[in-house]
Amino acid sequence: EKWPRGDETVWKTNMRGVDADVGNITKSVVNHVQTSLARQAYNLDNLGAYQAAALSVRDNMLVNWNETQLHYTRKAPKRAYYLSLEFLMGRTLDNALLNLDLKSQYKDGINQLGFSLEDLLEEERDAALGNGGLGRLAACYLDSSASQDLPVWGYGLRYKYGIFQQLISPEGNQLEAPDPWLDNQNPWELPRIDVNYEVRFYGQSERLPEGHGRAIWTGGQEVLAVAYDVMIPGCHTRNTNNLRLWESKPKRGFDLNSFNAGNYEGAVESSNSAAAITSVLYPNDHTTFGKELRLKQQYFWTAASLADIIRRFKNLGKSINEFPDYVAIQLNDTHPTLAIPELMRILLDEEDLDWNFAWQIVTNVFFFTNHTVLPEALEKWPVPLMEHILPRHMQIIYDINMIFLQAVEKKFPGDRERLARMSLIEEGFPKQVRMANLACIGSRRINGVAELHSQLVQTTILKDFVEFFGVSKFGNVTNGITPRRWLDQCNPELSKLISSTLKIDKSVWLKDLYKLKGLVKFAEDKGFRAEWAAIKQRNKERLAHHIETTLGFTVNTNAMFDVQIKRLHEYKRQTLNILGVVHRYLELKAMTPAQRKKINPKVVFFAGKAAPAYYIAKLTIRLIVNVARVINADPETKDYLSLYFLPDYSVSLAEVLIPASDISQHISTAGTEASGTSNMKFCLNGGLLVGTVDGANIEIAEEVGEENVFFFGHLTPAVEDLRYQHVYHPVPVDEACPALANVLNQISGGLFGDGGVYEPLVNTIRQGDYYLVTDDFDSYIRALAMVDDAYMDRDEWVKKSINTTANMGKFSSDRAIMDYAQEYWNLEPIPVGKD
């Protein structure tokens, strides 16, 4: 068939390009107001103007997006697919304008129309389809893939409701409200009603007698997966990648038979249950709950994504044994592990390949990233549930397991315990499928997310697998963050100062972050230091203004800003921080006014959500809020110490908080935080770090110099032994750490309201103290004292700040994604428009 239809020149002359002309920008915005939104100039509000501006920017992005997809199709390169149940994208408009290099033009155009771009940016709702670091990492990797011209697509779910909205009651309790982020329409997604796949659940699987391990799976429920595409523009490149999110829909609208028989509820029941699959993001971080709907989400998403990937591969006209030459699939944690038995099912039952051949393909396509060694996060699914929902996959898992365990037995004859540990099935009532083991044996390579964490993966949870497969199957890719959002976008003044100082256009250093090293020599330049400090100050004022307008508090911007923002979790030890605040408060109370005057004022900020069912985490929030209530009202101390819990932490709030911090806290019990990524964001913005020797803190210190970070606490090898001591030779807190005991007694005694309320929280420390708050408290307090001392010498502090930013090049997600591309996926950049 001839392409295009009709007269090619008519097509070509009517195709538009990216349009940076301010006149054309206003024209397109007005056109969207008038036609797409069906609104008029005289009653247009900021929301309407935002939507029109977004649609206009989207038109420009679509030009590049179309071009990119066509280019990739023509070049037919190997592609990588990032399967993640979470993509914590945040807002899009500002990021898109910066990456397209159209921000100043849109600013002008929107001004001419009587609006301000800054106001319109605030109208956008965050796309919050994730819980925390794992989801935000996925978003950074998409930005870097596009920016590095890599042919990478993301696959996820289009949850109708993202992470819940957090409200704080007057008593300090976290309340959860739904996040209806799609209610205002989402200009950034392209519904692809024509791209859809049927996904089966339940039913029967019958093995075929003739062997090969084949079977036929029939019956059950069939649900439709419909694609929604989200464009991912690269920074200063035409490459614009795709994030494909699946929505679940009933295969048929409703059951006409039931409807006709008068059973209206029955008629819509199946359609409701289909729609339920993508209705909401599970708000648990680091825990699994074994819920049926969650398993259905996982299968629905992996099945639709694989069907789509295979269809795209088949369009190349290649034979299936070349699949691994054209496709790499990255499993973001164990959540998409069902893709492994699903690909086996397709290759065996639909492609008619024999087992060994199919398994060879599978184990060359998948790559697996582990994101935590916390035991409560290791996914396991009850065998009866799996058998019920995915009967065919359960058979395949058993078959994989049998063959695998035979190989283990051959290598380690008679080692029954090893077999039990390595089995895909954990014995018990019920038996459970161990997803990490399945992901591990079904993948070509496995990596952790920071040096220490990757070592821990290899020596703890996957030790047996290292011994079986050899160490070369295991690697490390230290996480990264995109400097576009986490410097240029959130800290535009600093970005400008860096460009003018280095005399390098930002389009260059933003894509080669090691260029920041050039700032080192300016740390000795007094004028530069003054500018650097002034920007930090204005960012603090920007945050204070935000708090004033949203919460009504007046924040002391002459104080040191000390920030801890992350999910509430015992292992992250927000408890240590709040207990440290109380300790400081008690010290201030004990001082004379003259002594207090010598103290550097400090404002402590917390933000973060607790999983709705995580009692101790919620109680920690309650304690923080009530400590804040008391100390912020204390006339003796409030000029020296104040405390805020900022509700409803989000990507957008992080963008205001991070550039404003002088110091941030990353204080997990050693060996528990796999990497952390906000630590990188703070340091990139010239904030210093107080932390434990854990996760990526270690590598940050290696890069910026230990003299520029404040380390404290026990090291990873000591942790296990300390925990043992707590259980078998417990020492009361009063003896082990009198300073901490005093703090706990004040809380129990009612200094911050009814002490009884906090007993369960306080008791986690008094009894067992699994996260070693007692053991680390004194050295934590000493580290904070060193922070205070260092801050007194402001000139030295600013030097540290500059040297920190200057040495953060390694932590660009561009470095991380290129590492995946080269060491894992074997992928080449495919720049659009350069050949």
Contact set with ligand GL2 (CB under 6 A): 131-134, 137, 285-286, 371-372, 377, 449, 479, 673-677, 695
Distance in Å, CB of 728 to ligand GL2, minimum: 29
DSSP, residue by residue, 374-408: -GGGS-EEEHHHHHHH-HHHHHHHHHHHHHHHHHH
- CB-based contact 662:561 (threshold 8 Å): yes
For residue 17, the Cα-to-chain-centroid distance in whole angstroms is 33
- CB-based contact 176:284 (threshold 8 Å): no
Which of 677, 692, 774, 805 is the catalytic position?
A: 677
Residue in the structure block whose two tokens are 């090898």:
717
d(CA 388, CA 817) in angstroms, rounded, equals 38
Query: How is residue 635 annotated by DSSP?
Result: T
Return the C-alpha torsion angle 457, 462, 468, 473, nearest 10. -40
Closest CB to ligand GL2 among residues 481, 762:
481
- CB-based contact 809:514 (threshold 8 Å): yes
Closest CB to ligand GL2 among residues 84, 239:
84
Active site residue 371: yes
Closest CB to ligand GL2 among residues 132, 233:
132
Distance in Å, CB of 703 to ligand GL2, minimum: 17
* CA-derived radius of gyration, the chain: 28
d(CA 260, CA 256) in angstroms, rounded, equals 6
Three-state SS at 245: strand
Q: Which residues contact 335 (CB under 8 A, 6 or more apart)?
A: 83, 84, 85, 298, 379
Strand (E) or helix (H) holding 681 = helix 678-684
Active site residue 529: no
Name the phi and psi angles at 73, rounded to 5: -60, -45
User: Strands 189-201 and 221-233: what pairing?
Assistant: antiparallel
Distance in Å, CB of 453 to ligand GL2, minimum: 8
Active site residue 540: no
Closest CB to ligand GL2 among residues 187, 676:
676
Closest CB to ligand GL2 among residues 139, 449:
449
Query: How is residue 443 annotated by DSSP?
Result: -
Amino acid letter, 23: G
Which of 485, 567, 810, 815 is the catalytic position?
A: 567
Distance in Å, CB of 819 to ligand GL2, minimum: 14
Closest CB to ligand GL2 among residues 665, 675:
675
SS (H, E, C) 186-252: CCCEEEEEEEEEEEEECCEEEECCCCCCCEEEECCEEEEEEEEEEEEECCCCCCEEEEEEEEEEECC
Which of 32, 200, 371, 380 is the catalytic position?
A: 371
Active site residue 249: no
Nearest to 49 by CA among 192, 424, 41, 22: 41
The residue sitting closest to ligand GL2, measured at its beta carbon, is: 133
Distance in Å, CB of 417 to ligand GL2, minimum: 28
Distance in Å, CB of 649 to ligand GL2, minimum: 13
Distance in Å, CB of 121 to ligand GL2, minimum: 26
Distance in Å, CB of 306 to ligand GL2, minimum: 23
Which of 618, 681, 726, 810 is the catalytic position?
A: 681
Three-state SS at 562: strand
> 639: exposed, middle or buried (C-beta count within 10 Å: 0-12, 13-18, 19+)?
middle
Active site residue 35: no
Q: Which residues contact 516 (CB under 8 A, 6 or more apart)?
A: 498, 502, 509, 805, 806, 807, 808, 809
Amino acid letter, 676: G
Nearest to 380 by CA among 329, 337, 318, 418: 337
Closest CB to ligand GL2 among residues 134, 353:
134
Which of 200, 473, 529, 566 is the catalytic position?
A: 566
Active site residue 567: yes
Distance in Å, CB of 479 to ligand GL2, minimum: 5
User: Where in the sequence numbering do the catalytic residues fall?
Assistant: 371, 566-567, 572, 677, 681
